[in-house]
Amino acid sequence: MPSLYDRYPFLMRYFQNGLAHDNEAGRISHCILFFGSDLPAQYELALEVARLLNCKEGGAQDCECLNCRWIRENKHPAVRTVSRVDYKPVDDKTKTVISVRQTQEIKNDLMVTSDYHRVIIFCDKDDDGNIRGINYRVFQEEAANSLLKTFEEPPSNTTFIFLTKDKTDMISTIVSRSQCFFVPAQPEENRDYSLVSELMDGYTARGKNELWAFKDRLLEIIKENGFDPTMSQVENYLNSLLKSNYLNGQLRQKLLHDLKAVSLAKREAELEIQTPSVIENLTFALFEV
């Protein structure tokens, strides 16, 4: 798999610059929220941020210092994952939530000073241990609220990272305290977009009068090829355009916006909203000025 630096050049450049002069410049917030459908990629990004924060030798990608090696193996003492199954005190029998008991444990641990930069990653895991996005069912209000003050004024050298599918899945008081980053999904095996290339080519330059024809053609493609395969190809198309244009700030914003719209369309389809409505919403988003 290509490295994070190839897959997310703009995000990685942002973190490298922001974290290189950690304390003083302080451009990166103490609360970071990643959102999007690729949770394993978010987790990988979180660990890489932790590595950049802890490496004492400049943070090169292939650095072999002890901090970097520990973090790559995910056994760094100061880089902790919090989920309904991780960071669980022994006397805590809850299995479905991040409990208030857990948040107390985190607060206690943070009272001890650390030589490292502590990074606490909040996520969910399924029964097989796969990373999932945190949501308000897993991280409920009482537990979240008990940490709000800590999120707001964390002890020095402490960063919290939240991984979620969608910002609306998170308690808003956490979202409002976080610096939020959309992490576009990147299907690895299949980057094909031949089904949609004719439709998509030059779409950013098209006028609103072409909106309905675009929508009808997209629905036809879906009818012939299925919803999921078509959406994956639209995503592949946008990702490939993004990759070749990430230095063009305006186009990059537009493409990230459109990738979010596609991930929203996929969620709407999961919620069994009718395809024509989903595609109408998506088309409007793509043609927004």
**Contacts with Zn ion, residue ranges (CB under 5 A):** 55, 57, 63, 65, 68
Half-sphere exposure of 263 (CA within 13 A, CB side): 22
Q: Give the H or E element holding residue 266.
A: helix 249-270
Minimum Å gap between C-beta 50 and Zn ion is 11
Q: Maximum CA pair distance of the chain?
A: 63
Nearer to Zn ion, 75 or 93 (CB): 75
**Nearest CA among 104, 72, 69, 73 for reference residue 87:** 104
Q: Hey, what are 176's tokens? A: 């409002």
Q: Tell me whether residue 57 or residue 216 sits nearer to Zn ion (CB atom).
A: 57
Cβ proximity to Zn ion, 55 vs 82, nearer residue: 55
Tell me the closest approach of the beta carbon of residue 34 to Zn ion, in angstroms. 22
Q: Which residues pair with 118 in a beta bridge?
A: 158
Is the torsion defined by CA of 27, 32, 36, 40 positive or negative?
positive
The least distance separating Zn ion from the CB of residue 120, rounded to whole angstroms, comes to 20
Q: Which is nearer to Zn ion, 17 or 108 (CB)?
A: 17
Residue with the two structure tokens 């700030």 = 249
Of 68 and 241, the one with the shorter C-beta distance to Zn ion is 68
Rounded Cα distance, 97 and 86, in Å: 11
CB of 56 to Zn ion, least distance (A): 7
**Could you tell me the smallest distance in angstroms from the CB atom of residue 72 to Zn ion?**
10
Give me the half-sphere count of Cα atoms (radius 13 Å) on the Cβ side of residue 184. Answer: 30
